[in-house]
Amino acid sequence: MDNRTVLISGAGVAGPALAFWLRRHGFAVTVVERATGLRPGGQAVDVRGTARAIVDRMGLTARIRAECVREQGMAYVDARGRTRCRMPVHAFDGEGIVADIEIERGDLARLLYEETRADVEYVFDDSIETLTQTGDGVRVTFARSAPRTVDLVVGADGSHSRTRALAFGPESAYVRPLGAYLAYFTTPYRNETGWFELHNAPGGRVVGTRPTRHGATSALFSFVSPPLDLDRRDRDAQQRLLAERFADVGWRAGELLAAMPDAPDFYFDRYGQVKMDAWSAGRVALLGDAAWCPSPLTGQGTSLSLVGAYVLAGELAAAPGDHVVAYRRYEETLRAHVERGQEIPGGGISGFLPATRTAIRLRDAAMRAMTSRPLRGLTAKLVFSQADGLTLPEYAVAA
């Protein structure tokens, strides 16, 4: 088999990372993205554990570190802004833990795009409409572009993946809600503390601010809720809901909500995990959040995407081109690592969004204990071990 032409849906982190490695292995790659261009901003994401070795192999560590978010750590505050507990960035120095590389999602996506745009075809403002598999390839139609036939298709288009829906079935079969929602957006409010500050309120609600590398401040709102009958593209309805849910929270909530309608990058979604028995169907495979979204609570989404891109491209090259063999080895190599990465630390949703004042106090006490000297080593193992433990295969790169 040859199978040298690959169409990737999604130009976030996973898609361009896969394109990077596929080009190294001599594949012809096209990336199609629904948005009109790269999506700027977004929350800070972590590159941790095995993923640090991946960016080293890509030669990107220095560039990523140059654009890191400079943050002191996480701090929970009361309604008057007084610190209740903190987890500094360097809380686990000396415990065998290498500090995460933290970078804004939009900055990482841009770096990956810049590394690949010279020899990867990017098609923005378009999306896959249909996929028809044959013995020789996949016939693809698009919302705007002319149809084309490619050897392989990879969906790297997030937890609401259109590719997954076309090749595997409806989202409801694979996305498991975790019982909460989140929103974030950029605001003119200035967080001058250097800390990711969070204020919990009874009823399973939290509002937070974190400084960005570009001098702005990102606002976070999150709340516990059963599934809502809310169109995920109806921005006005989402903002009305947030204004109602957080009207009595206090701290900075009021001024952040007032700035929300003017935010250029407002994002709203539910917390959920993607669980699938298989990440491929015929010539179509899934990568990153489309295949295994671990939820933002794990802090593992970006790292798993980077590792997955390296392994998928490497197995396709090693097969060589036999997608049946490559996809099987891709899953065999990654399945256990992904399942570890999907483990939610710290009590899950209830730990992040405690329901009562008593539960909030208990969570704060637990965090103080976690960062104390007697428990620091155990905490480091529990929180960070999921990102390690995978021995990366070595793949020969095309001359």
pLDDT digits (tens, 9 = 90+) for 36-83: 999 887 788 888 889 999 999 999 999 999 988 877 888 999 999 999
pLDDT for the residue 204: 96
- Location of structure tokens 């947030």: 242
Residue 191 burial (CB count, 10 A): 20
| More confidently predicted of 351 and 13 | 13
Look over the chain and give the mean of its residue pLDDT values, rounded to a whole number.
90
Q: Is 96 left (phi over 0), alpha (psi -120 to 50) or beta?
A: left
CB of 269 within 8 A of CB of 234? no
pTM value > 0.85: yes
| More confidently predicted of 161 and 389 | 161
With residue 206 as reference, give the H or E element that holds it.
strand 205-211
Cα 33 from Cα 142, distance rounded (Å) = 11
Q: Average pLDDT for residues 226-248, to the nearest whole number?
A: 94
DSSP track, 88-134:
ETTTTTTTT-PPPEEEEHHHHHHHHHHHHTTTSEEEES--EEEEEE-
Q: Is 158 left (phi over 0), alpha (psi -120 to 50) or beta?
A: left
Query: 111 in helix, strand or coil?
Result: helix
pLDDT for the residue 95: 45
Residues 253, 38, 259: CA angle, nearest 5 degrees: 20
Q: In terms of Cα–Cα distance, which of 215, 210, 216 is closest to 196?
A: 210
| Percentage of the residues of the chain whose pLDDT score is greater than 70 | 92
Note the pLDDT tens digit of each residue in 202-230.
999 999 998 887 778 899 999 999 999 88
CB of 217 within 8 A of CB of 189? yes
- Location of structure tokens 């919302």: 143
pLDDT for the residue 96: 46
Q: How confident is the model at residue 381 (pLDDT cuts 50, 70, 90)?
A: low
**Domains in the chain: ranges and CATH:** 5-70+100-173+273-345 (3.50.50.60)
Query: 121 in helix, strand or coil?
Result: strand
